């Protein structure tokens, strides 16, 4: 009976092949490859960052240059050697980086609000003027410059930005910054241009809480954020209303 069933399966496979019907291969559903860059996600770790060639034009060492759109995922922490070096430079629009729980780790230390070893350095965690960049799910700590310095239509979610010499986050117009913790940075916690949405962030112990929309009033929406113990004041801009945000220990207005 077993041999007969095997024969029937062979005949069925031959018939399907003759009709041009594709057969599923073993393993991952649909027969496709699994994991790594073969799944459409390019992985980045300390080793391949130092080796270079993550994308075309990426030289060995830092910064890692991402020159093509698509999805990227960290597979280890990235340790940056000094406060003048950026971790990642993005030169293409439409890039998504999943930190995957890992961190970009620089050498800066901010002992208290606005008191950092290096302030306004040149090394950023991620640096780009490109549009439509999404970053989520990890940490940028100890950069000499900005933790995340992104262009227009940026989306930053569930990140921890801390001990950076300049601002924790800077984004261009029409961006969304949500569900992040931004603390102990040497300048603004979050700096955002017109048309942006700042939602459900903890912004604490920075030199200044936020810089929103001082050019065109009413063009940045902020809500459900917590501002606490930023050194100077929770925000700069006109107008930015702290309700329904919470404000503790700042020059609240």
The 10s digit of each residue's pLDDT in 58-90 is: 999 999 999 999 999 999 999 999 999 999 999
Whether 124 and 99 have beta carbons less than 8 Å apart is answered as no
- The per-residue pLDDT of the chain, averaged, comes to 83
Bond before 207 cis per omega within 30 degrees: no
Distance CA 114, CA 165 (A): 8
Distance CA 219, CA 146 (A): 23
Which carries the bigger pLDDT value, residue 9 or residue 183?
183
Q: Coil, strand, or helix at residue 220?
A: coil
* Least confident segment among 92-96, 127-131, 134-138, 189-193: 189-193
Mean pLDDT (whole number) for 188-206: 93
- Residue 231 has a pLDDT of 86
CA pseudo-torsion sign 167, 86, 141, 150: positive
16-36 b/e (C-beta count within 10 Å ≥ 16 → b) = eeeeeeeeeeeeeeeeeeeee
Q: Who's near 29: CB < 8 A, 6+ residues apart?
A: none
Whether 228 and 207 have beta carbons less than 8 Å apart is answered as no
pLDDT digits (tens, 9 = 90+) for 16-60: 344 343 333 333 223 332 234 557 999 999 999 999 999 999 999
Local confidence band at 211 (pLDDT 50, 70, 90 cut-offs): confident
Among the listed residues 102, 81, 83, 97, the one whose alpha carbon sits nearest the alpha carbon of residue 133: 97
Q: Coil, strand, or helix at residue 191?
A: strand
The residue whose two tokens read 């024969």 is 7
User: SS in 3 state form for 69-126?
Assistant: CEEEEECCCEECCCCCCCCEEECCCCEEEECCCCEEECCCCEEECCEECCCCCCCCCE
Local confidence band at 5 (pLDDT 50, 70, 90 cut-offs): very low
pTM attached to this predicted model:
0.82
Local confidence band at 242 (pLDDT 50, 70, 90 cut-offs): low
Cα dist from 114 to 4, 158, 159, 235, whole Å: 79, 23, 20, 14
Which carries the bigger pLDDT value, residue 174 or residue 36?
174
Distance CA 185, CA 178 (A): 18
Among the listed residues 47, 62, 66, 60, the one whose alpha carbon sits nearest the alpha carbon of residue 106: 62
- Residue 33 has a pLDDT of 28
Mean pLDDT (whole number) for 125-139: 98
Q: Which H or E element spans position 65?
A: strand 64-66
Whether 110 and 186 have beta carbons less than 8 Å apart is answered as yes
């Amino acid at each position: 009976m077993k041999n007969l069933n095997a024969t029937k399966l062979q005949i069925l496979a031959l018939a399907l092949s003759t009709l041009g019907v594709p057969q599923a291969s073993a393993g991952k559903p649909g027969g496709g490859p699994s994991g790594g860059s073969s799944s459409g996600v390019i992985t980045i770790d300390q080793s391949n960052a130092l080796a270079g060639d993550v994308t075309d034009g990426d030289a060995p060492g830092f910064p890692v240059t991402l020159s093509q759109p698509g999805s990227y995922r960290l597979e280890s922490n990235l340790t940056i050697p000094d406060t003048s070096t950026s971790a990642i430079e993005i030169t293409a629009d439409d890039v998504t980086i999943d930190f995957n729980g890992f961190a970009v780790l620089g050498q800066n230390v901010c002992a208290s609000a606005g008191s950092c070893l290096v302030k306004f350095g040149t090394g950023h965690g991620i640096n780009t003027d490109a549009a439509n960049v999404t970053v989520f799910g990890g940490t940028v700590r100890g950069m000499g410059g900005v933790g995340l310095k992104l262009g227009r239509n940026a989306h930053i979610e569930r990140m921890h930005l801390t001990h950076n010499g300049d601002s924790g986050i800077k984004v261009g117009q029409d961006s969304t910054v949500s569900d992040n913790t931004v603390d102990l940075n040497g300048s603004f916690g979050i700096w955002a241009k017109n048309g942006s949405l700042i939602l459900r962030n903890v912004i604490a112990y920075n030199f200044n809480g936020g810089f929103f929309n001082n050019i065109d009033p009413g063009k940045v929406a902020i809500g459900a954020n917590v501002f606490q113990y930023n050194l100077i004041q929770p925000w700069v801009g006109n107008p930015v209303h702290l309700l329904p945000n919470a404000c503790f220990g700042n020059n609240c207005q």
